[in-house]
Chains A and B, each alone.
Chain A
Amino acid sequence: MKDLVEAIVKSIVDHPDQVVVNEVSGEMTTIIELRVAPADMGKVIGRQGRTAKAIRTILNAAGMRASRRMEFEIVNAAEDYE
């Protein structure tokens, strides 16, 4: 699941080298955390959150196949410094 998000995001951002994906697996749920360059936040979210929603949809479809519940979160880089 981690490489799925990584492959999608790296192809749509301007700074693929700054894409960091974390995967936290629980019993039933997998949480995917995405960090991108601040300049790429808009690209990952998209107009009215469409791109983020599309990534979430694909992730849910892939999760359904592996019978896992997927959660997708875009982490704001600025929050890391607090």
Chain B
Amino acid sequence: MDNEKHNVNAYFQDEENIEEFEEYSADEEELHAEAEDLDGAYDEFGGDEYPEDILGPDPETDEPRIEIIVDPLISKAYAASEFLRGVMLRMGLSGRIATTIRHGAIYLEITGAEPGLVIGHRGQNLDALQHLVNRMVNKQSQDIVSVTVDSDEYRSRRHNQLEQMVRTIANEVMGNGVPVVTEPLTPSERRLFHIAADQLKGVHTESFGSGFFQPIKVSSAGVHPREAAHYRSHEYRNPYSRDDH
């Protein structure tokens, strides 16, 4: 420190250097003035107002205020459950609707209402409710979100039932080679059926007919039962399977 002070003193002792220093201070004053101008500009811009992304208190009452922004999916899920609630109440049903969002899709699970009435024959009432909720949620929006309505785990029970059906029919078909036709199934049921059948090598499944409900014809893929058993074993990998990669 002492050394530095000494240097500074030496600096001022030189007259030329003093002149230079005075010039420098003049520059600094100009700079300072400029900075003050900027401050003024900032005050004009800022003042009592807040930058765009901060709302600030209510200009009239000076009450603090908070804006809440919610993912559109959450508000859609809420609207869907409110709609389903309104429909169920007007059907004279009491119960509970659990609303969840899984993998970008909305799930409404009804419990505690009369399951027989909510689900209906082969899930037709449940499918009708689901269709109407989907129409309501996707009424005027560009991004279509899928809503699943379930009651007392009907969907997963039906899924297990379809998989069991695939196994039973596949065994029968591969045993005697005679094709079997299923009961008429809805599009989503057919999808689950085909997926389950694809995993059992050795059967060929095909929907036929037209309309909403279509039966599926299950036939042998043209292999000997023993060969089919080999295809079903873990040693075999289907070279044409699309889910290998």
Complex contact A4–B132 (CB within 8 A): no
Given A11-B136, A46-B135, A62-B212 contact (CB < 8 Å): no
B20 CB to closest chain A CB (Å) equals: 79
Q: Which of B107-150 contact A (CB under 8 A)?
A: 114, 117, 120, 124-125, 127-129, 131-132, 135-136, 139-140
Residues of B within 8 Å of A65, CB to CB, are 91-92, 114, 117
Interface size classification for chain A = 20 to 34
Residues of A within 8 Å of B128, CB to CB, are 53-55, 57-58, 61
Residues of B within 8 Å of A54, CB to CB, are 127-129, 131-132
Contact of A62 among B83, B92, B124, B127 (CB under 8 A): B92
Complex contact B117–A4 (CB within 8 A): no
B86 CB to closest chain A CB (Å) equals: 5
Residues of A within 8 Å of B211, CB to CB, are 48
Residues of B within 8 Å of A48, CB to CB, are 211-212
Question: With an 8 A cutoff between CB atoms, is B87 at the interface?
Answer: yes
Interface residue count on the B side (C-beta < 8 Å): 22
Q: Considering only CB atoms, which chain A residue lies closest to B131 in the complex?
A: A54
B93 CB to closest chain A CB (Å) equals: 8
Complex contact B135–A62 (CB within 8 A): no
Complex contact B125–A61 (CB within 8 A): yes
**Distance of A48 Cα from B129 Cα, bound (Å):** 17
**Distance of A13 Cα from B87 Cα, bound (Å):** 16
**Distance of A51 Cα from B174 Cα, bound (Å):** 40
Residues of A within 8 Å of B125, CB to CB, are 57-58, 61
Residues of B within 8 Å of A4, CB to CB, are 87, 90-91
Residues of A within 8 Å of B129, CB to CB, are 54, 58
Q: Considering only CB atoms, which chain B residue lies closest to A13 in the complex?
A: B139
Q: Which of A1-28 contact B (CB under 8 A)?
A: 3-4, 7-8, 11-12, 14
**Distance of A70 Cα from B196 Cα, bound (Å):** 39
Q: Which of A48-70 contact B (CB under 8 A)?
A: 48, 50-51, 53-55, 57-58, 61-62, 64-66
Complex contact B91–A7 (CB within 8 A): no
Question: With an 8 A cutoff between CB atoms, is A35 at the interface?
Answer: no
Complex contact A55–B132 (CB within 8 A): yes
> Chain B, 132-170, contact with A by CB distance < 8 Å: what is the 0/1 string?
100110011000000000000000000000000000000
Residues on A lying within 8 angstroms of B by beta carbon are 3-4, 7-8, 11-12, 14, 43, 46, 48, 50-51, 53-55, 57-58, 61-62, 64-66
Q: List 24 A-B contacts (CB under 8 A).
A: A3-B90, A4-B87, A4-B91, A7-B87, A7-B90, A8-B132, A11-B83, A11-B136, A12-B132, A14-B140, A50-B131, A50-B212, A53-B128, A54-B132, A55-B132, A57-B120, A57-B124, A58-B91, A58-B125, A61-B117, A61-B125, A61-B128, A62-B90, A65-B91
12 extra interface residue pairs, beta carbon distance < 8 Å, beyond A11-B83, A55-B132, A61-B117: A3-B90, A4-B90, A7-B90, A14-B139, A46-B131, A51-B132, A58-B125, A61-B91, A61-B120, A64-B117, A65-B91, A66-B92
